[in-house]
Amino acid sequence: MNEPQQKWTETIEADHSLFDLKLKEVWKYKDLVYMFVKRDFVSSFKQTILGPIWFFINPILTTIVYLVVFSKIAKLPTDGAPPLLFYLAGVTLWNYFSSSLLGTSYTFAGNANIFGKVYFPRLVTPISIVISNLMRFGVQFILFLIGWAYYFYKGEAHPNIWILATPFLILLMAVFALGVGMIFSALTTKYKDLSMLLGFGVSLYMYATPVIFPVSSLPGFFKKLSYYNPLTGIFECFKYAWMGVGDFSPLMLGISTVIILVLLAIGVVVFNKVEKTFMDTV
């Protein structure tokens, strides 16, 4: 005799789509975001002698090295901008992007213990990383402003109306790092060697980005190709806005914005898909 078919009275399943950023839920956990940001900021200087001074030492030493190697020895052009200010601008922007990208890429692997014990929106972690790095960027940006004020006083820096786009440029970098970082954080749950590949790839990526050279110095084909690097429009717009130099055009920034939004959408889909099952593979 056949047994009666059982009917479930309650079903537990995910109530969000793959494209859902769950920003309302993240906002409810804003105190947790603050705690994570504070933790990252404090842990960076625990048991250090110089503390936050390291925020200044890194860009200063890096800028000096670039100045000697790329300006004095390699004789790379800077579009008429003061070389020190040109490299300082590139280093300041690049430090924020690279640190945010690498930090976000370890979201699942680096927080598996926390994720396995308590629930909170997983997006809280990468967002807190981007914000904590934004604080570091703010400190280094002050250093850039000091250098910029000096050259502005000397008449060697020529800002223009595009300076108002600076917050938008920073937001684009944050979104770019967040999108790509979420993609790699999801992939590294199964393929852990991708984390090493990413670290190496980020180092190479810097040389494909106008950190140490202006786009105007590139030959025809490579110049057009550089437009499809999402960071090209951001870096060129920043240098053009603050120093009045470069081969910037709104088309550059438009292409960067579109590519970054596409990468963010891909990152959200991959991140939401993996977060449901990553504890089985991490």
pLDDT-derived band of residue 274, with 50, 70 and 90 as boundaries?
confident
Q: Which of 196, 42, 169, 159 is nearest to 94 (CA)?
A: 169
If you average pLDDT over residues 114-136, what whole number do you get?
Answer: 79
Over residues 157-193, the pLDDT tens digits come to: 999 999 999 999 999 999 999 999 888 888 877 777 7
| pLDDT surpasses 50 at 12 | no
Over residues 198-243, the pLDDT tens digits come to: 888 998 999 999 999 999 888 888 888 999 999 999 999 999 999 9
Amino acid in the structure at residue 77: P
DSSP state of 16: S
Alpha-carbon torsion (24, 271, 282, 39), positive or negative: negative
User: What is the average pLDDT score of the chain?
Assistant: 83
Looking at residue 49, its pLDDT comes to: 59
Lowest average pLDDT, out of 21-25, 131-135, 225-229, 245-249, goes to 21-25
Lowest average pLDDT, out of 49-63, 157-171, 210-224, 254-268, goes to 49-63
Select, from the ranges 41-45, 81-85, 134-138, 199-203, the one with the highest average predicted confidence (pLDDT): 81-85
Alpha-carbon torsion (37, 40, 43, 44), positive or negative: negative
Q: Is the distance from CB of 86 to CB of 243 less than 8 angstroms?
A: yes
DSSP string over 126-190: HHHHHHHHHHHHHHHHHHHHHHHHHHHHTT-----GGGGGHHHHHHHHHHHHHHHHHHHHHHTTT
Give the residue, 85 or 1, on which the prediction is more confident: 85
- Give the Å distances, CA to CA, from 15 to 22, 146, 272: 11, 50, 12
Taking the model in full, what pTM does it have? 0.85
Task: Enter the tokens of residue 115.
Answer: 């994720």
Looking at residue 52, its pLDDT comes to: 67
Lowest average pLDDT, out of 2-11, 97-106, 107-116, 122-131, goes to 2-11
Q: Which of 162, 149, 154 is nearest to 244 (CA)?
A: 162
Q: What is the spatial distance between Cα 61 and Cα 179, in angstroms, rounded to a whole number?
A: 30
Looking at residue 221, its pLDDT comes to: 87
Looking at residue 135, its pLDDT comes to: 84
